[in-house]
Amino acid sequence: MDIKDFIIAQSAGNLYWKDKDCKYLGCNKNFSIICGLSSPADIIGKTDHDLFSNFLGEIDIKNLLEVDKTVLYEGKTIVCEETGINEKKERAIFLTKKAPLIDYRNNIIGIIGTSIDITKEKQAEVLKTEFIQNMQHDMRTPAVGLWGVLNILATSEEDTHKKEALDMAVEASKRLLDLCNETVEFGDLSGNTRPVIQNNLDVRALAQSVIELNKPAAFAKDLVIHLKVATSVPPHIASDEYRLSRILINLMGNAIKFSHEGEITLSMTASIEEGEIRKGLLTIELKDMGIGIAPNKINHIFEKFSRGVASNTNLYPGTGLGLYVVKTFVDELGGDINVQSRENEGTYFKLNIPFKALLEDMKKPGVEINEHFRSPIQAEVVGTKQNTTATVQKRSVANTPFSHELLIVEDDKTCLFAEKSLLSCFTNHIDTAENVAEALEKLATKRYDLVISDLGLPDGSGNDIVAKIKATSESPNYKTPFVAMTAHQDALKHQQAMDAGFTATHTKPLGAEKATELLNTYLVERAASPPKKEQGLPVIDLALGMKRTASVNESGIIELLGILWESLQVDIPILKQAEENNDLLGVNAILLKISGGLSYSGTPRLEAACDVLYTMTESGIKNLAQIENLFSAFYDEAALFAEQFKELIKSVNAQNNHSSF
């Protein structure tokens, strides 16, 4: 063995090189030991599949090959994290650097790679991240409790001077809480050593979870949020989930903060470049109707601590880090961001984020999403269509106490006191639990109409509670809505809670607006009554149908009712199947189709039942079983319409036969 071969054989870490077919040409001694070979020479001609198929899954091996092909076809060096095996034949994480292997003519003839086992470092990073998240949670929890208690005292105080002082304390504590949140995020960013890690993720679920986090703030301002995702976006993409979620959270938070009315639209499309390496580009667009950005400020909005509105105005408090965070993470993902804005008209952001589209399921078209989120308190149920005769106001719990049974699971006594005091304005039937064991004991013996639970508990997590309850339909609270309240702002924590079985998640604190929203969504609507005969709405109103279609006689509207009747024979079985499968997108799509026909047909009762049902499916509900009574009401109204339509046809036929004599 000459000196060169000796140096290569004894080099630290793993060293290897391959030809253009990704077959090994050689390696050092360390790598040959990991591969289970007698000597480095035994690796020649072998592939990753030959060496690792007994230890790694097909996706892991395919990912190794994809990185190799990228180096070969693009001729660039790549640094990434890869899954492999260590000397004990255990799965491990490696920090890998792969570069083109070039001959004397500057032709790429293969690749050369080095890798170091960083499994322990990754485990330490996970512990560090967990520690930071726990510290953030522990900092926010007392701050949330302080804000909640002060808010309750301010609300109930009748003395003018004391109330004024308490109102100032509430505002100061809320700003302190917001500043705490942004300071923690800046600390993460300024010392950020988090590598860009490309994992498979569902951007649809990510966008929906971000909107779920921001719904309370949007609803408090009566803002409408639209989410549109095109079929061009694959079911999964390979990207950095942490950075992408923070980008969306900051953009959405900014849009809500600087909007006082109107709509916010989040859209996603994608394009994929076909070839040996399938490269994708995710385009994210966010448009609001807020205050806009002044022309002299727009070139500075991505700078650290930059603010569009001076801090001494106290109108829009904050550190000015939101868009700096967005720009930093977009750059780290290799993307670009552009902004257009007009003062008092709104702002439009457009982001292009590269991603890998290499896994097999990425060839499938994604599901189209066209969702709309509006406040269930301030919106009218039937106000979504023009010329509707019946306007059904959604009942608000703000001034109507009710007798539903609630359970609050919270270990922090300050937060528990604040949440219970706030909800007691609406109901006197509130039980409490301070840990998982106590909560499970109460849930096993009593049926509740709503459970509000913290995630971090002394003996486990709120996720443990909901997973246990939802595991069997025999549980008395199997169909009960569970709402998570947490001090965590991390979208991943919220998504984990949804995966565990929570109906919805919200970030603390629980304010009056959020409490009203929760009770309206999960209590009032569950007991909502369908339109009754005594409400005075006719099943068929020919005059109304004629007015809406500008018909000069009844025959045209009767023909239209016939078309509606035939359509319902097809649509209702589809709707029932979607309901049974808890397919929210499918339910919304078919209800929207039915709703369009009803808006012309002169069927006010059926139309009202459809609108009540459609509004509830748009309100953020996750489990359709919660509103099964509204589905039943709609089906009953459809059957009643069919019955009266048949009678109408008999009557018309009888009149025609009589007039023919």
Please list the alpha-helical segments (H only) found in 191-240.
203-220
Please choose, from the candidates 74, 1, 87, 79, the residue with its C-alpha nearest in 3D space to the C-alpha of residue 37.
87
The three-class DSSP label of residue 325 is helix
For domain 406-526, the CATH superfamily is: Response regulator (3.40.50.2300)
Per the model's pLDDT, the better-predicted residue between 590 and 141 turns out to be 590
Per the model's pLDDT, the better-predicted residue between 129 and 388 turns out to be 129
CATH topology of domain 528-659: Four Helix Bundle (Hemerythrin (Met), subunit A) (1.20.120)
The mean per-residue pLDDT over the stretch 543-560 comes to 74
Identify the CATH class of 207-368: alpha beta
Give whole-number Cα distances, 376 to 18, 290, 400, 617, in Å.
Answer: 61, 22, 16, 11
For the chain, percent of residues with pLDDT exceeding 70: 77
Q: Which two tokens stand for residue 202?
A: 């569902």
291 touches 315 (CB < 8 A): no
Return the H-helix or E-strand segment holding 411. Answer: none
- Of the ranges 62-66, 249-253, 388-392, which one carries the lowest mean pLDDT score? 388-392
Q: How far is CA 273 from the centre of its chain?
A: 27
CB neighbours (10 Å) of residue 533? Answer: 10
Candidates 3.40.50.1980, 3.90.420.10, 3.40.190.10, 3.30.450.20; CATH matching 3-117: 3.30.450.20
**What DSSP string describes 328-379?**
HHHHHTT-EEEEEEETTTEEEEEEEEEEE--SGGGGSPPPPEEEEE--TTTS
Please list the alpha-helical segments (H only) found in 53-159.
58-74, 119-156
pLDDT of residue 386: 34
pLDDT of residue 275: 59
The mean per-residue pLDDT over the stretch 12-25 comes to 93
d(CA 339, CA 266): 14
pLDDT of residue 277: 56
pLDDT-derived band at 590, boundaries 50, 70, 90:
confident
* Domain range list for the chain: 3-117, 119-195, 207-368, 406-526, 528-659
**Three-class SS of 520-540:** HHHHHHHHCCCCCHHHCCCCC
**Is the predicted pLDDT of residue 412 greater than 70, yes or no?**
yes
The mean per-residue pLDDT over the stretch 218-227 comes to 82
d(CA 285, CA 307): 22
Hey, which residues does 373 pair with through a beta bridge? 225
pLDDT-derived band at 548, boundaries 50, 70, 90:
low
The mean per-residue pLDDT over the stretch 323-351 comes to 88
pLDDT of residue 213: 67
Please choose, from the candidates 282, 285, 279, the residue with its C-alpha nearest in 3D space to the C-alpha of residue 352.
282
The mean per-residue pLDDT over the stretch 313-321 comes to 42
Of 412-426, 437-451, 627-641, which one has max mean pLDDT?
Answer: 437-451
In tens, the pLDDT along 72-94 reads 988 888 888 889 999 889 999 99
Tell me if the bond preceding 295 is cis, omega within 30° of 0. no
Per the model's pLDDT, the better-predicted residue between 168 and 386 turns out to be 168
- Of the ranges 88-97, 214-223, 408-417, 464-473, which one carries the lowest mean pLDDT score? 214-223
Per the model's pLDDT, the better-predicted residue between 428 and 281 turns out to be 281
d(CA 209, CA 203): 10
- Of the ranges 225-234, 360-369, 603-612, which one carries the lowest mean pLDDT score? 360-369
pLDDT of residue 532: 42
pLDDT of residue 153: 78
b/e string for 628-644 if b means 16 or more Cβ within 10 A?
eebbebbbebbebbbeb
pLDDT-derived band at 268, boundaries 50, 70, 90:
very high
Give whole-number Cα distances, 20 to 32, 63, 111, 366, in Å.
Answer: 20, 17, 7, 34
In tens, the pLDDT along 119-174 reads 988 888 777 766 666 666 566 667 666 776 777 777 777 777 777 777 777 776 76
Q: Which two tokens stand for residue 659?
A: 């007039």
